[in-house]
Structure 1
Amino acid sequence: MTGNGRVFVSDHEDGVLELGCPRRPLVGPPKDFVPNGFALLESGEFLIANLGGEGGVWKLDASRSPSPYLMEVERQSMRNTNFVMLDHKGRLWITVCTRQTPRELAFDRHIADGYVAVVDAQGARVVADGLAFTNECRMHPGGEWLYVNESVGRRLVRFRVHEESGRVTLGAKECVHEFSDGDFPDGLAFDCLGGAWVASVISNRVIRISPCGEKQVVLDDSDPELNALAESVYAKSGVSKSVFEMGRRRSLSNVSSVAFGGADLRTVYLGSLGGDRLASFRSEVAGHQLAHWQFGT
């Protein structure tokens, strides 16, 4: 979402689709290209996290032909790249959910090999490792913390951000909130009060975690029987793909992302893995203005 009302969504055919505009399919995308998280740049180009195929971060310009932007970090292939985010200082934050191939192997709750990489003035490198299926990340409105969702770890965690001579490092991992009752955190956004809004992909809930860690269910489209089944399966081994996909039967259809938009940043948009519509509702509290808010205005 941008300050002039433009709304962009991740789309497997178009890479990034702008609502209200004609569809513009990708030209010559790589094999098994699965666009997931993306970042809008000031140039009007996009950086797209490729969750499929060879992974990596790809650039999408006006030609609609994706080109490689970052395919490895510290000599490691970036397969299963999940998310890319631009912060207010021009740094890029990238999450890789797992080093396992296929990535469904990391649905095992005993596996924690996902990581966070940064691209800053000193280049690209891994700054946090050992995460249980790393999903979306966001910079806290104050700029001093990076928050990350561990989907299979079922935690919202944070790392203190340190910077010296343009080089960023992260402090030790701190747990902000542990989820239960069928909740598996996926998408993440902040409101202007510092509350973290989390999209829970299996339970189809939108949850706000206050600055002091308290949980508030903002929107609930869950199935109690599915929540109980998810808990039972998770206790034995981890997330089951079949149970995971049962969430698509609900109206929110595996809700996976949450974002604030509208002129007053009080319209909440919800993306999903299984739906063909974008849900929205109004919030009493405004969202935090992201780095790209004024781009293209």
Structure 2
Amino acid sequence: MDSTHSPKLTFNDVRPIGAGLNRPESVQVLGDGRLAVSHRGRGVSFVTPDGEVSTRGPEPALASGEEMIPNGIAPQPDGSFLIANIGEGGGIWKLSADGELTPYLMEVDGVFLAAANFVMTDEKGRCFITVSTVSRPRFAAYTDTVRDGLVIIKDEHGARILADDICFSNECRLTPDGSGLMVSETFSRTITQFDLGPSGLSNRRTFAAFGRGDFPDGIRFDREGYLWVTCIVSNRLWRITPDRQKTLVLEDCDASWVDTVETALSEGRMGREHFYEAGNSRLGNIASIDFSANGETAYLGSLCGHSIISIPTRQGSR
């Protein structure tokens, strides 16, 4: 790949946007140039290009007393958002334009969506959802030996499970031509590709595999059809060509912290604390990505940062 097109960036290329964000795991670029990001405990925060932050959602979010932990968020045409709640209350919720929070989808095929990770909608009005695991608590699935994550579709025919054997299913994305679905399997360290047809998912294969320290989380295609992958723990950002060639675009990795996490994983004692610390990395466990309208800037969400990270995607935009 042409290195002038996809530069290897350093932390000097990173620019924070906004401040005081609370677990901004998912980032979405809105049509008016603002960023929408998930906000722990309430719903969605909005960040203007000059860094001004506002938050939408009731406080506390859930009358039940359970904590709302928005993970993936999906803006809707009416100004509302769908929210994947990875907190113990689980489920997919709808946050209206005036801040009302109501259940959207809590159960599919008799399965409670306890660890709802991600939600997106496409131009056909279909809703795609991932549930990391049906194990409770969810950190029981922090291993490559548990494969009980779900991929769900909700369309005009209703909601149904498309796959139930994913190794901690994280973000999913339709391929640029709409004929397939990519799924980030965090603990098998793979991006899995399926064909998507009227009968569901088929022809499962590995699109990309990752090594030590890399736990793929958020994924998104750019306008040229390249898949970008954020990896928690290692704090690496990869860009993958359609023919599966990987380029490391950005990293701020703490090798000793990677050793700590990998040891915990190998000894079967990995817990949520290993995702909510990043060692000496300054990227805060990057977990999602979106692009500006012109494609020249990428925005990164994170698990434990307090700002959105902005980086150039081309040398000419530095």
Instruction: Decide: shared fold, TM above 0.5.
Output: yes
| SS at structure 1 position matched to 2:93 | strand
Q: Is the 8 A contact 2:44 2:55 kept in 1?
A: no
For residues 245 and 41 of structure 1, do their structure 2 counterparts lie closer, same or farther at Cα, with a shift above 3 Å needed? Answer: closer
Structure 1: gaps spanning 5 or more residues: 286-297
Q: Deviations over 1:87-124 (max 9, x none)?
A: 12211000000001110000022111001000011110
AA aligned opposite 1:277: S
RMSD of aligned alpha carbons = 1.8
Q: Is the 8 A contact 1:248 1:254 kept in 2?
A: no
Shift of 1:228: 3.6
CA distance in 2, matches of 1:141, 1:7: 23
Q: Which residue number corresponds to residue 35 of structure 2?
A: 7
Match of 1:111 among 125, 133, 146: 146
Moved more, 196-205 or 170-179: 170-179
Q: Identify which of structures 1 and 2 has the higher relative contact order when contacts are C-alpha pairs closer than 8 Å and 6+ apart.
A: 2
Within the alignment, does 1:284 sit opposite 2:297 as a pair? Answer: no
For residues 248 and 60 of structure 1, do their structure 2 counterparts lie closer, same or farther at Cα, with a shift above 3 Å needed? Answer: farther
Q: Is the 8 A contact 1:183 1:200 kept in 2?
A: yes
Q: Which residue number corresponds to residue 293 of structure 1?
A: none
Q: Which residue number corresponds to residue 29 of structure 1?
A: 61
Moved more, 106-115 or 225-234: 225-234
Q: Is the 8 A contact 2:91 2:116 kept in 1?
A: yes
Shift of 1:248: 5.2
| SS at structure 1 position matched to 2:278 | helix
AA aligned opposite 2:33: G
CA distance in 2, matches of 1:228, 1:12: 28
Q: Is the 8 A contact 1:27 1:65 kept in 2?
A: no
Shift of 1:227: 2.8
AA aligned opposite 1:136: E
Moved more, 59-68 or 148-157: 59-68
Q: Is the 8 A contact 1:28 1:65 kept in 2?
A: no
Q: Is the 8 A contact 2:216 2:231 kept in 1?
A: yes
Shift of 1:243: 3.9
Shift of 1:78: 0.7
Q: Which residue number corresponds to residue 301 of structure 2?
A: 271
Shift of 1:219: 0.3
Match of 2:231 among 200, 215, 222: 200
AA aligned opposite 2:83: I
Match of 2:221 among 181, 190, 199: 190
Shift of 1:156: 0.4
Q: Which residue number corresponds to residue 179 of structure 1?
A: 210
CA distance in 2, matches of 1:125, 1:107: 25
Structure 2: gaps spanning 5 or more residues: 1-28
For residues 61 and 250 of structure 1, do their structure 2 counterparts lie closer, same or farther at Cα, with a shift above 3 Å needed? Answer: same
